Structure 1
Amino acid sequence: MTKQYIQNHKQYFLEKGLTVINSVFSDDEIEKMIKCIQNADTSRDNFRKSDDLFAVRQLLKEIPEIKELIFNDTVKTIIRQLFGEKYFAVKSIYFDKPETSNWYVAYHQDLTISVDKKLEMQGFGPWTTKKNQFAVQPPLPVLENICTIRIHLDDTDEYNGALKVIPGSHTKGIYRTETIDWGTETEKICDVRKGGIMIMKPLMLHGSNRTTNDKKRRVIHIEFSDMELPQDLKWSEKLN
């Protein structure tokens, strides 16, 4: 993966708020990640299992042995060259949208961050607390700084719930979905092959349709930032 190739992706990413890079992980690396997750103790609070969804919150904390599989040399190079030298992981989730799942996700922006405690601070709020985990909507500059990598453990297209996005919408601040002007905005479906990654800005409007082809969609979602939070507030999952 040449520097110029990554630079081309960076330019597109900064302008559109997303880019897709395939063939980042081999089939063998993907199978090792899947085994790692399957072998984990799913009885803990951060594991959620239902007919519609299997999800692991704080994945890198819950299954630390997966870190060396995820952060291979290619991924480290992509993070440094696309995001910046000082970016670190601040949130990690695994989810498996099974073949039978009729999970539909409406267009939205990712507007909250995971933090270690609740503090009354100007510009931070509203807050949510679930099972002693704290999430808050921070000021806009914090959200604008975050970059997300989504590692695809399966081929994903419009028939098994690939993300649909509105390219460029990440530049418009908090963008209420009811104000989307479809006369000027264009929807894009983000096909990603198994072992590929989708890189996106969480402020980009995104959603997904129901699965119609009885195929799995398993994704590892990791958010990165290079900002420290003010006062005594800390990222709950900071990982260098």
Structure 2
Amino acid sequence: MTWREQLERDGFTFLRSVFAPETVAVALAEWGAITRQHATDDAVLTGESGPAYGARNLLDLWPGVVDLLRVEPLLGALLDVLGADAGVVRVLYFDKPPGHSWALPWHKDYSIAVRANGPTTLFTKPTTKAGVPHVIAPQIVLDRMVTVRIHLDDMTPENGPLRVIPGSHRFYSQTNDEPRDSVTLECRAGDVLLMRPLVTHASGHSKVDAGLHRRVVHLECAADAVLPDGYEWKWYSRLCPSKPE
């Protein structure tokens, strides 16, 4: 089975060894410098007296993060799935620092970042996160998106790995998911997970005294630069520059 066939069937797939250890080290160093520079920013999420465990608004804090998507075979895969107009619409960062782990229950990713909240028609439940308006998107939007999770550490049974329900991306509501066994994902630093937003997923705590990070750059990509009902993406960074007229 090819990666494309698995993505369509299961809603997720891995591209292995996309980034060399040296590239991963550079990305970690860049992000470390940015978190120190923006340590008091609401977009950088920290616990009481703990290290950063997440961050929002990376397209503002770290604009160069988009370049991570412009390498092969990742760029070719995204253009194959999303088309020539593919763009990055939101970037997050996650970590489970040693001694400061966390867990998430089963869920699907419905929320998108928009320029402004408007009437709730196709889009619902307007909120604001770290100063950025967000709404719950309908299936017609989410089905034309792919999430790219670039792993900066190995993901193992010890550091709270991601669990997914294969095939659940075909259903908007978790209550409609087919009864299927979950799969626990493992990978190496430099591997990339492609995942549809509607895949039902969860993760548990890292094991006590594991002493491992689980750092991930989470990039949400969309096929269309224009949203329905007059909504606009907060960010839309084209993966490929427009051709000159």
Mark yes or no: TM-score above 0.5. yes
Q: Which amino acid letter does the alignment assign opposite residue 234 of structure 2?
A: S
Does the aligned pair in 2 maintain the 1:52–1:103 contact within 8 Å?
Answer: no
Aligned to 2:111: 112
Q: Which amino acid letter does the alignment assign opposite residue 20 of structure 2?
A: S
1:195 matched to 2:194? The reply is no
1:17 matched to 2:11? The reply is yes
Count of aligned positions:
230
Structure 1 residue 120: Cα displacement: 0.4
1:237 matched to 2:231? The reply is no
Q: Which amino acid letter does the alignment assign opposite residue 32 of structure 1?
A: V
Does the aligned pair in 2 maintain the 1:58–1:237 contact within 8 Å?
Answer: no
1:47 matched to 2:41? The reply is no
Separation in 2, partners of 1:142, 1:70: 21
Unaligned segments of structure 2, at least 5 residues: 239-245
Does the aligned pair in 1 maintain the 2:56–2:130 contact within 8 Å?
Answer: no
Unaligned segments of structure 1, at least 5 residues: 1-6
1:32 matched to 2:26? The reply is yes
Q: How does 1:57-68 map to 2 (within 5 A)?
A: 57-68=56-67
- Output the TM-score relative to the length of structure 1: 0.89
Task: Report the identity percentage.
Answer: 27
SS at match of 2:237: coil
Q: How does 1:24-173 map to 2 (within 5 A)?
A: 24-40=18-34, 41-42=37-38, 43-50=40-47, 51=50, 53-173=52-172
CA offset digits 1:129-158 (Å, max 9, x no partner) = 234311111222111211101000000022
Aligned to 1:186: 181
CA offset digits 1:111-132 (Å, max 9, x no partner) = 1111010100412111112343
- Output the TM-score relative to the length of structure 2: 0.87
SS at match of 2:158: helix
Separation in 2, partners of 1:53, 1:180: 34
Structure 1 residue 69: Cα displacement: 4.1
User: Per the alignment, do residues 99 and 15 of structure 1 end up closer, same or farther by CA in structure 2, a change over 3 Å counting?
Assistant: same
Please give the root-mean-square deviation of Cα atoms over the aligned residues, in Å.
Answer: 1.8
Structure 1 residue 16: Cα displacement: 0.3
Structure 1 residue 61: Cα displacement: 2.2
Q: Which amino acid letter does the alignment assign opposite residue 211 of structure 1?
A: S
Aligned to 2:221: 224
Separation in 1, partners of 2:75, 2:143: 21
Does the aligned pair in 1 maintain the 2:114–2:133 contact within 8 Å?
Answer: yes
SS at match of 1:35: helix
SS at match of 1:161: coil
Does the aligned pair in 1 maintain the 2:58–2:92 contact within 8 Å?
Answer: yes
Greater shift in the superposed pair: 191-200 or 115-124: 115-124
Greater shift in the superposed pair: 192-201 or 54-63: 54-63
Structure 1 residue 67: Cα displacement: 3.1
Q: How does 1:198-217 map to 2 (within 5 A)?
A: 198-212=193-207, 213-217=210-214
Runs of 4+ in 1 over 6 A off after TM superposition: none
